[in-house]
Amino acid sequence: MASNNRGHFSSRLGFIMAAAGSAVGLGNVWGFPTKAASNGGAAFLVIYLAMVFLLAFPMLVAELTIGRHGQSNPIASLRTIWTKNRAAAGLFGLIAMIAASMILSFYSILAGWLMGFAAAPALEVVGLQSAADWLVNFGGARNVVLAVLFSLLTILVVQKGVADGIEKWSTRLMPMLFVLFAVMIAYIFTQDGAMEGLKMYLIPDISHITPSLMVDAMGQAFFSLSLGVGSMMVYGSYLQKEVNIPKTAGQVAAIDTGVALAAGLLILPAMFVAKNNGVQIFNDAGQLMSSGDLVFAVLPAMFDTMGGIGVILGIGFFVLMVIAALTSSISLLEVPVSCAQDELKMERNTATWLIGGAILIVSIVISLNFGALFGLVADISTVYMQPLLGVVWAIVVGWIWNRNNLLNELKEGNPDIAQGLFWKIWPWYVRIVCPVAIMTVFLFSIL
């Protein structure tokens, strides 16, 4: 069972900020607007919201409940439920740990670029043009240096533990993120061209709704809520027993979705402001030109057209991106670290530096073989492992966990839950609808 010196979140707000921080990352601020822009804007937004409500939220409740029940890492937590096949429980817990580590290995590279783009305008202002160019131009050495810097930030937060590291920094960084967003959205709306982007984002064109859009939207909902890879199980294990899990999960999902919506409100209008300022964003066929590096190509070009205020906005925007990335990366590193602490009885410091260092070595290998490895590692971990692990968690909660034991775990934070609508729908929903829907979308994405 769990070790006695296990950390806990000191407050519900701390947990919500940390879990929302885990969920709010590049998936929302970089992935969501890019996918929305590539898939016709509002049509994608509508389907994404449906996917969050219909699939991601029920699965978030499932993962938090497994974690809080086990009060331990994903391997041990799964074993407390899957008692008849402890080997399978251990294996799937291990796969989740590997998936989280793989995501962190490519995530650190992306987040490093953001640090480069945040620092570059400041270097330009003080006349260090060649250093600024080095930070924003793709290159093996630059990729490695920035990935190392970002990885060290992540390691330093995680080694401090739950209350002093993860909770403390999430409760500082998340409000900063919200304020920066609000300021930047307000500014962008004053620029010429912004309303055209707003229209694209908020007025749906039903003809854009295709099966591939549905796949993209579900993938985005899963990736942005950190589902499947054990992060939410680990955070669940640090929850006090009196917390109402469905209510708290709803708040985390709402903050996460709100940030994705805000990112869309910022980036889609910003694209059209850029277009208005002479930056080419669509090709002759009317398709978005650089969807993958939208944030790295279109936005800096737009900030450049704005003079002095553009420098400040550029720094602000990329600082915001780094904050979003850091609150996610700490939850990804926490998965293998909590496993090493509980299963191998390692000290937190040792575990954090050893595992963080090992993941950093993988990041360096990917950086130096970028063309061959980056897309491959990203696809294996997010397109294949995340949804398939999601199916396993749905099966564990829906089919393997004794229904009364599951109800008792949820009653800890909500004694009257059995009388409510949630309990009448959720158990069979997770049992049947979630695995079937996730598998359908998954098979479509590979076929």
Q: What is the dihedral of CA 264, 266, 267, 273, to 10 degrees?
A: 130
Per-residue pLDDT at 182: 85
Residue count of the chain = 447
354: which 2 tokens? 């050893």
Residue scoring higher pLDDT (152 or 334): 152
The residue extents of the domains of the chain are 12-446
pTM: 0.86
Question: Cβ(253)–Cβ(17) under 8 Å?
Answer: no
Mean pLDDT of 281-288: 68
Residues with Cβ within 8 Å of 136's Cβ and at least 6 positions away in sequence, in order, are 116, 117, 120, 296, 300
- CATH code of the region 12-446: 1.10.4160
Mean pLDDT, residues 235-247: 86
pLDDT score of 115 more than 80: yes
pLDDT at 2: 40
pLDDT tens across 208-231, in order?
788 778 877 877 887 777 788 888
- Tokens linked to 67: 């974690």
Give the pLDDT band of residue 190 (cuts 50, 70, 90). confident
| pLDDT reading at 294 higher than 70 | no
Please give the pLDDT value at position 79. Answer: 93
What residues does 288 pair with on adjacent strands? 282
Average pLDDT on 187-204 reads 86
In tens, the pLDDT along 370-406 reads 889 988 998 888 878 888 899 999 999 999 999 999 9
Mean pLDDT rounded to a whole number for the chain: 85
Which residue, chain included where needed, has tokens 């991601």? 56
Tell me the average pLDDT across 134-146. Answer: 89
Mean pLDDT of 328-334: 87
pLDDT at 318: 86
Whether 440 contacts 214, CB under 8 Å: no
Q: Give 86-110 pLDDT, tens digit per residue.
A: 899 999 999 999 999 999 999 999 8
The pLDDT, as a whole number, for residue 215 is 77
d(CA 135, CA 338): 34
The whole-number pLDDT of residue 4 equals 40
pLDDT at 3: 42
What secondary structure letter does DSSP report for 288?
B
pLDDT higher than 90, residue 355: yes
> In this model, does residue 243 exceed pLDDT 90?
no
Q: What is the pLDDT of residue 108?
A: 94
Burial degree of 190 (CB within 10 A; 0-12, 13-18, 19+): exposed
Q: Per-residue pLDDT tens for 17-33?
A: 777 777 777 777 777 87
